[in-house]
Amino acid sequence: MTDQRDIMPTHQQNGTKRKRVIIAGIVTLVIIIGCVWWYKTRLSGQATTKPADDGMFNSGAIPVKVEAAYSGSFVKYAKALGTVNAYNTVSIVSRVQGELVKVLFTEGQQVKEGDLLAVIDPRPYEAALEQAKGTLKQNQAQLQNANSELVRYQKLIKQDSIAKQTYDSQLALVRQYQGTVLSSQAQVKDAELNLEFTQIKAPISGRLGLRQIDIGNYIKVGDTTPLITITQTQPISATFTLPETQLPEVAKHLAQGQRLVVEAWDSSNTQLLATGIVETLDNQINTSTGTILVKARFDNSDQILFPNQFVNIKLKLATLEDALIIPTDAIQYGNKGTFVYVVNGDKVHLNYITLGSSDTDKTVVLSGLNVGDKVILEGTDRLRENTKVEIIGSVSDLSDKSKIETAPVSEK
């Protein structure tokens, strides 16, 4: 079969090729026009937004947030991690053996000194007491009879009616019975004590723990398991360590009879749990840590502190009056020392400063600033000497602030 293209005239073939070229050219032109239109649209959009950006920084000023340095009172604290301890802890054990017949307390309750807690079966000890009393009466009767005989012998010996040896023997018998009576009296007291010990009473005031022995158990003297434990929590103490560098200041205050205030805060350092005073210092420094142990006392009237609880301790060391204070966030650190950026007019200047006591929010400045100087808090990453700045927001007017800052601080 003959191919149609082989018998097609030459001029028709040329016409078909020209149509293909024209169509390809049209498609290419459309693509080019579309690209040009997209590019111009993009440039137009950038041109539209550019004036707004230029308007924001047309002056070349960097926006910053500032706060004024002010003069005020500043409380200086030492911070430490402390452990709460019961003022006294007593494990209640029986001083006599026998069956536990009564338990008169509730676990966890608050008790006072002398409260009856439990009872050991008293009957054996009541019998022992009666027996001791009976023996005492018997011995007292013997002593009384011997004394009567001695009185009679004294009359007879004056009359030389008896031998002196007989008198001496009777005198010795009287003294023997006197000793027997004393021994019997001691046995009575011992029996009375044993009977009294069947009533187990609280030796101190405090909070009871969990009961370790149930009713019906036979308790022996010397058992290592206590019936219950009492912890004295009013008052309660806390111990913590301070570096030896702070010891002279603390010791000086205590030697002068001053009461150093201690605050106990929760583990997150957000809630004040209790306020107390320093009670004493340990008698030596721990050479391995360079610290000294401090004991503080808290009234704990609301029972918020528990033995073995961990607390954050803040020890008030001093109140700095008329201190120059700035926000801690304004402080910068460089190769040449500590500095802040200060705004003067619309320019920024770098001031090197000497720091005093500090905390997470406020810092005392010893030199390098004056009251009212506006220090920069935010926007410091692009600042240099004489950089032009623009203050955003209002400047906090804190130069006349008179309240005492109560945040904890540490000595730099």
Side chain identity at residue 258, one-letter code = Q
Is 312 in contact with 267 (CB distance < 8 Å)?
yes
The confidence band for 7, taking pLDDT boundaries of 50, 70 and 90, is very low
Give bridge partners of residue 245 from the DSSP assignment. none
Residue 336 pLDDT: 87
Q: What is the pLDDT of residue 14?
A: 55
Residue reference for tokens 């003069």: 71
Element (H, E) at 282: strand 272-286
* Cα gap 241→307, rounded to integer Å: 17
Domains of the chain: 63-75+321-391 (2.40.420.20), 79-85+231-318 (2.40.30.170), 122-197 (1.10.287.470)
Lowest mean pLDDT among 42-56, 117-131, 316-330: 42-56
Predicted confidence band of residue 35 (pLDDT cuts 50, 70, 90): confident
Residue with tokens 């142990």: 293
For 141, the 3-state DSSP assignment is helix
Does residue 55 have a pLDDT over 50?
A: no
Question: Contact, 105 vs 117, CB < 8 A?
Answer: yes
Give per-residue pLDDT as tens, 177-219. Answer: 999 999 999 999 999 999 999 999 999 999 999 999 999 999 9
Which stretch, 50-54, 133-137, 254-258, 356-360, has highest mean pLDDT? 133-137
Mean pLDDT over residues 1-13, rounded?
49
Residue 79 exposure: Cα atoms within 13 Å on the Cβ side = 16
What local confidence, expressed as pLDDT, does residue 44 receive? Answer: 45
- Rounded to whole angstroms, the Cα distance separating 383 from 389 reads 9
* Percent of residues, the chain, with pLDDT higher than 70: 85
In angstroms, rounded to a whole number, what is the distance separating the alpha carbons of residues 365 and 354? 6
Owner of token pair 């219950």: 228
Query: For residue 95, which of 262, 187, 220, 234 has the smallest C-alpha distance?
Result: 220
Complete DSSP assignment for 314-352: EEEEEEEEEEEEEEGGG-EEETTEEEEEEEETTEEEEEE
The residues near 217 (Cβ < 8 Å, ≥ 6 apart) are: 99, 100
